[in-house]
Amino acid sequence: MKVLVLGSGGREHALCWRLSQDESVEEVVAAPGNPGIVEDGFMCFDIDPTDPQEVCELAKDKFDLVVVGPEAPLVAGVGDALREIGISVFGPNKDGAQLEGSKKWMKDLLVEAGVPTAQHKSFESHELESALQYLEDIRKISNVELSVIKTDGLAGGKGVIVTESLEQARKAVQEYLSGDAFGQAGTTCVIEEGLTGPEISVFAICDGKDATCIGVAQDHKRVGDDDTGPNTGGMGAYSPVPFVDDLMIREIMDTCIEPTLKALQAREISYKGVLYAGLMLTPTGPKMIEYNIRFGDPECQILMMRLTGDLAMALKACADGELANILMQERKSEQLGLSDYNAITVVISANGYPVSPVLGNEISGISAANDIEGVKVFHAGTKIDDGHLVSAGGRVLNVTAIAADISTARDRAYEACGFIKLEGAHYRNDIAYQAVEVQD
Ligand code: AMP
Ligand code: GLY
**Separation of first and last alpha carbons in the chain:** 44
The rounded distance, in Å, linking the Cα atoms of 109 and 114 is 8
Q: Of 133, 160, 193, which marks where a domain is finished?
A: 193
SS3 82: helix
For residue 334, what are the β-bridge partners? Answer: none
Widest CA span of the chain, in angstroms? 61
- Verify that 241 and 182 share a domain, yes or no: no
Evaluate: CB of 35 within 6 angstroms of ligand 1. no
- Verify that 87 and 185 share a domain, yes or no: no
Q: Of 193, 208, 243, which marks where a domain is finished?
A: 193
Give domain status of residue 113, yes or no: no
Give domain status of residue 185, yes or no: yes
CATH of the domain at 334: 3.30.470.20
3-class DSSP string for 128-175: HHHHHHHHHHHHHHHCCCCEEEEECCCCCCCCEEEECCHHHHHHHHHH
Give domain status of residue 373, yes or no: yes
Evaluate: CB of 400 within 6 angstroms of ligand 2. no
Give domain status of residue 348, yes or no: yes
- Residue 330 confidence (pLDDT): 64
Give domain status of residue 101, yes or no: no
The rounded distance, in Å, linking the Cα atoms of 189 and 110 is 16
Range list of β-strands (E), 173-233: 189-193, 199-207, 211-219, 222-224, 228-231
Kindly report the protein residue whose alpha carbon is nearest to atom 5 of ligand 2. Answer: 296
- Verify that 381 and 425 share a domain, yes or no: yes
- Verify that 325 and 363 share a domain, yes or no: no
CATH of the domain at 14: 3.40.50.20
Ligand 1 centre distance from Cα of residue 232 (Å): 12
- Residue 231 confidence (pLDDT): 86
- Verify that 310 and 183 share a domain, yes or no: no
- Verify that 224 and 315 share a domain, yes or no: yes
Name the residue range of residue 290's domain. Answer: 199-338
Is the per-residue pLDDT at 333 higher than 80? no
Give domain status of residue 35, yes or no: yes
- For the CA of 292, the nearest atom of ligand 1: 4
Ligand 1 centre distance from Cα of residue 162 (Å): 7
Q: Supply the pTM of this predicted model.
A: 0.95
Ligand 2 centre distance from Cα of residue 100 (Å): 12
Give domain status of residue 98, yes or no: no
Ligand 1 centre distance from Cα of residue 196 (Å): 10
- Residue 328 confidence (pLDDT): 77
Closest CA to 81 of 56, 118, 113: 56
Give domain status of residue 234, yes or no: yes
Q: What percent of the chain has pLDDT over 90?
A: 90
CB 212 within 8 A of CB 335: no
- Verify that 351 and 319 share a domain, yes or no: no
Evaluate: CB of 299 within 6 angstroms of ligand 2. yes
pLDDT band at 154 (very low <50, low <70, confident <90, very high): confident
pLDDT band at 334 (very low <50, low <70, confident <90, very high): low
The Cβ-side half-sphere exposure at 322, using a 13 Å CA radius, reads 10
- For the CA of 299, the nearest atom of ligand 2: 1
CATH of the domain at 173: 3.30.1490.20
pLDDT band at 14 (very low <50, low <70, confident <90, very high): very high
CB 9 within 8 A of CB 73: no
- Verify that 309 and 229 share a domain, yes or no: yes
- Verify that 334 and 220 share a domain, yes or no: yes
Cα Rg of the chain, angstroms: 21
pLDDT band at 25 (very low <50, low <70, confident <90, very high): very high
CATH of the domain at 407: 3.90.600.10
State the total domains in the chain: 4
- Verify that 320 and 274 share a domain, yes or no: yes
Evaluate: CB of 148 within 6 angstroms of ligand 1. yes
For residue 199, give the ligand nearest its CA. Answer: 1
Residues making up the chain, counted from first to last: 440
- Verify that 326 and 357 share a domain, yes or no: no
Evaluate: CB of 219 within 6 angstroms of ligand 2. yes
Name the residue of 162, 201, 299 whose CB sits within 8 Å of the most ligand 1 atoms, as the mutation to test its pocket: 162
Q: Of 193, 225, 255, which marks where a domain is finished?
A: 193
Evaluate: CB of 127 within 6 angstroms of ligand 2. no
Evaluate: CB of 319 within 6 angstroms of ligand 1. no
- For the CA of 295, the nearest atom of ligand 2: 4
- Verify that 162 and 206 share a domain, yes or no: no
- Residue 312 confidence (pLDDT): 97
Tell me which of 339 and 185 has the higher pLDDT: 339
